């Protein structure tokens, strides 16, 4: 994490393949959830500034009706927080 960068830039740096934090995030998600790639897609959508459920679901290419269960897990893992 770069203390001089904003939260959006730091979040994106976690999601870039090959970075140390990306690898740590992948390994953490693999241990905690069954579909780590789905969670990464959701996090990528949020990092891109998508705020509405429909926008996140569309960008992550998942059914909007199923998004809530993923968001709840990310909140329980303290990865996401509702604003």
Residue 73, pLDDT score: 96
Tokens, residue 36: 């780590």
Cα(12)–Cα(22) distance, rounded to whole angstroms?
Answer: 9
What CA–CA distance (Å, rounded) separates 62 from 41?
9
Please give the mean pLDDT across all residues of the chain.
88
Top pLDDT among 33 and 21 is at: 33
Tokens 């897609």 appear where? 41
Domain count for the chain, please give it: 1
Can you tell me whether residue 53 is helix, strand or coil? helix
| Domain that residue 71 falls in | 7-76
Q: Is residue 51 predicted with pLDDT exceeding 80?
A: yes
| Of the candidates 1, 50, 46, the residue with the CA atom closest to the CA atom of residue 22 | 1
Residue 43 lies in a domain: yes
Q: Is residue 82 part of a domain?
A: no
11 is a domain residue? yes
Residue 1 covered by a domain: no
pLDDT tier, 66 (very low <50, low <70, confident <90, very high otherwise): very high
Is 18 a domain residue? yes
């Amino acid at each position: 994490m770069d203390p001089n960068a904003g939260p959006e830039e730091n979040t994106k740096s976690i999601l870039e393949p090959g970075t140390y934090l990306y690898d740590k995030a992948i390994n953490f998600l693999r241990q905690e959830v069954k579909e780590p790639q789905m969670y990464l897609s959701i996090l990528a959508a949020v990092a891109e500034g998508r705020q509405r459920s429909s926008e996140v679901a569309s960008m992550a290419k998942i059914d909007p009706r199923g998004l809530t269960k993923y968001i709840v897990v990310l909140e329980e893992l303290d990865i996401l927080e509702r604003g």
